[in-house]
């Protein structure tokens, strides 16, 4: 039948009992399948995460242009990760970094919402800001999304146990430093 119709005999379900075959134009079938796969890939949205890195001592001007970059990325539909890295004993004052993160979240609250609240991981404190509904050029912000963003900013608090962990780590470091002081060195030097 396939030779008479000048088409191909294609085994569709080899595992079935009996195996299922179909008479079709196999070249056309492959073309349509690849075309559907390309359309499916075009329809997918790939979320890209951009990052801005700051320090607790970063001045207003530097933070301002980093925030402008974050605003541009949010308008393009990308997520933004804001990371503040502590060096040395800066880690003993995480509330300074938390205040910086709050200010950045407040500045970007018209086009983004806090997706991941500030979290202290090692010597980094970071949060993730996602664009408000819709990706692409300037998403529309409604009063409900603005209110949600304000609520997220108000809820941004580091848990007390995280701050206690920072204090405990600092106390351990001081204890280690005291054990290595000059008084504890052996008498033969």
Same domain, 32 and 101: no
- CA–CA separation, 163 vs 93, rounded Å? 9
Residue 13 within any structural domain of the chain:
yes
Same domain, 143 and 74: yes
Contact 86, 56 (CB under 8 A): yes
What pLDDT sits at residue 166?
54
CB atoms within 10 A of CB 126: 19
Element (H, E) at 24: strand 20-24
Same domain, 105 and 141: yes
Q: What is the CATH number of the domain that holds 25?
A: 3.10.20.80
Q: What is the CATH number of the domain that holds 90?
A: 3.30.110.10
Same domain, 78 and 152: yes
Please provide the DSSP assignment of 68-136 as one string: HHHHHHHHTT-EEEEEEE--GGGGG-HHHHHHHHHHHHHHTTTTEEEEEEEEEETTEEEEEEEESSS-S
Same domain, 96 and 22: no
Number of domains in the chain: 2
What pLDDT sits at residue 139?
41
Backbone phi and psi for residue 155, each to the nearest 5 degrees, phi listed first: -80, -5
What pLDDT sits at residue 71?
93
- CA–CA separation, 36 vs 31, rounded Å? 9
Closest CA to 87 of 38, 49, 125, 144: 125
Same domain, 90 and 10: no
What pLDDT sits at residue 10?
87
pLDDT tens-digit readout, 157-174 = 554 555 555 555 545 554
Domain extent for 24: 2-36
Backbone phi and psi for residue 159, each to the nearest 5 degrees, phi listed first: -60, 150
Same domain, 22 and 107: no
pLDDT tens-digit readout, 99-136 = 999 999 999 999 999 999 998 898 999 999 999 875 45
Give pTM, 2 decimals: 0.54
Residue 165 within any structural domain of the chain:
no
At residue 55 the predicted structure's pLDDT band, cuts being 50, 70 and 90, is very high
Same domain, 102 and 27: no
Same domain, 14 and 99: no
């Amino acid at each position: 039948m396939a030779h008479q119709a000048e088409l191909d005999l294609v085994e569709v379900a080899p595992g079935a009992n009996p195996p299922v075959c179909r008479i079709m134009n196999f070249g056309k079938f492959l073309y349509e399948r690849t075309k559907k796969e390309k359309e499916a890939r075009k329809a997918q949205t790939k979320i890209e995460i951009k990052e801005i890195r700051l320090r607790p001592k970063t001045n207003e001007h530097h933070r301002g242009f980093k925030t402008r970059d974050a605003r541009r990325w949010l308008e393009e539909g990308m997520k933004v990760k804001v990371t503040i890295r502590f060096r040395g004993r800066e880690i003993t004052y995480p509330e300074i970094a938390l205040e910086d993160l709050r200010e950045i979240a407040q500045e970007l609250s018209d086009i983004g919402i806090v997706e991941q609240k500030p979290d202290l991981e090692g010597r980094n404190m970071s949060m993730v800001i996602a664009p408000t509904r819709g990706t692409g050029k300037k998403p529309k912000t409604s009063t409900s999304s603005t209110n949600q963003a304000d609520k997220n900013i108000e809820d941004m608090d580091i848990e007390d146990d995280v701050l206690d962990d920072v204090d405990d780590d600092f106390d351990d470091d001081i204890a280690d430093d005291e054990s290595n002081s000059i008084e504890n060195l052996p008498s033969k030097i």
